[in-house]
Amino acid sequence: MSTALLEVKNLKMHFPIEEGLLFKKQVGAIRAIDGISFEIKAGETLGLVGESGCGKSTTARTIAQLYKATEGEIIFNGRDLASLDSRELLSERKNIQMVFQDPYASLNPRMTVTEIIAEPLIIFKNRGLMTISKKEITERAEFLMEKVGLSSFFRNRYPHEFSGGQRQRIGIARALALNPKLILADEPVSALDVSIQAQILNLLADLQSEYNLTYLFIAHDLAVIEYISTRVAVMYLGKIVEVSSSKVIYKKPLHPYTEALLSAAPIPDPEIEKKRKRIVLSGDVPSPDRARTGCYFYDRCPKKMEICKNNIPELTETGEGHHVACFLYFSP
């Protein structure tokens, strides 16, 4: 955990808003990601947390090059992914795999489990990027089924014959097929029952330990993030507002938005729950379709100051790897 496997620098992802039927004209943009920077060290788990619509999933998809970034750099293993040609990018993609949120929608219903897990291997073989026999592909698929807790006896079954938790295990096995270094887990347990969530989280932790995997783990459930993450990044309206170790950020949050998020998370202790103070934010999350001249959290912040209105706080270190974007802790 000494070197950064992934570095994201000033990343922006704006989706154009267009008008017109025949002659389309851009009249604005949805600023899903509006200038974020972070790094993930090899072997660690960075938890990315925030409200729905804040840009978490867009961040993962842009890192995976499913979206072409509007601006910024995505440096993986020392290479800027945006500067690679199509063949170089495909070759690098074997090291970056995704586990999607919905296990019902992310698997092809017309393919058997073996075919689903083997598909990445077949693609790389057909493109001349991997030398592997048909027998080895089948053996690899069956091995991965066993590794994620599914019997290879079910190798010829289809996705509809499995439960939600089993389908997510299939998705994890597919992500492991090419021996990746980084896995982008986009809310992989949010569609599952709580008891199944624990099983999947434990599976991911065991696989990380065994294969030295690095995770970007996206979730809106703070308990899930606390359990699995080494460090936590808090996102609001396309911006990262706080980054710190999991232990520190849950004990001593600095940003008013992080404080509000943690106060909303239930604690399974009636005595503590009875005494603690809930921070209720006013208003709704603003629309991401306009540029802002001040702090993105200004409209809802219970601690806002005059300086916040026309100045955007930068993510600044306050000590021991704890970064926060808030004028309560520094001046521009």
**Structure-block tokens of residue 53:** 């619509």
Over the stretch 156-199, which tens digit does the pLDDT of each residue have?
A: 999 999 999 999 999 999 999 999 999 999 999 988 888 899 99
Over the stretch 134-144, which tens digit does the pLDDT of each residue have?
A: 999 999 999 99
40 contact partners, CB below 8 Å, separation of at least 6 = 4, 5, 6, 46, 182, 214, 216
Give the whole-angstrom CA distance, residue 249 versus residue 244: 6
Q: By C-alpha distance, which of 261, 254, 252 is closest to 326?
A: 254
Give the whole-angstrom CA distance, residue 249 versus residue 282: 23
96-99 vs 322-324, strand pairing mode: unpaired
The model's pTM is 0.93
Over the stretch 32-69, which tens digit does the pLDDT of each residue have?
A: 999 999 999 999 999 999 988 899 999 999 999 999 99
Query: How much is the CA Rg of the chain, to the nearest whole Å?
Result: 21
Task: Check residue 273 and give its pLDDT.
Answer: 66
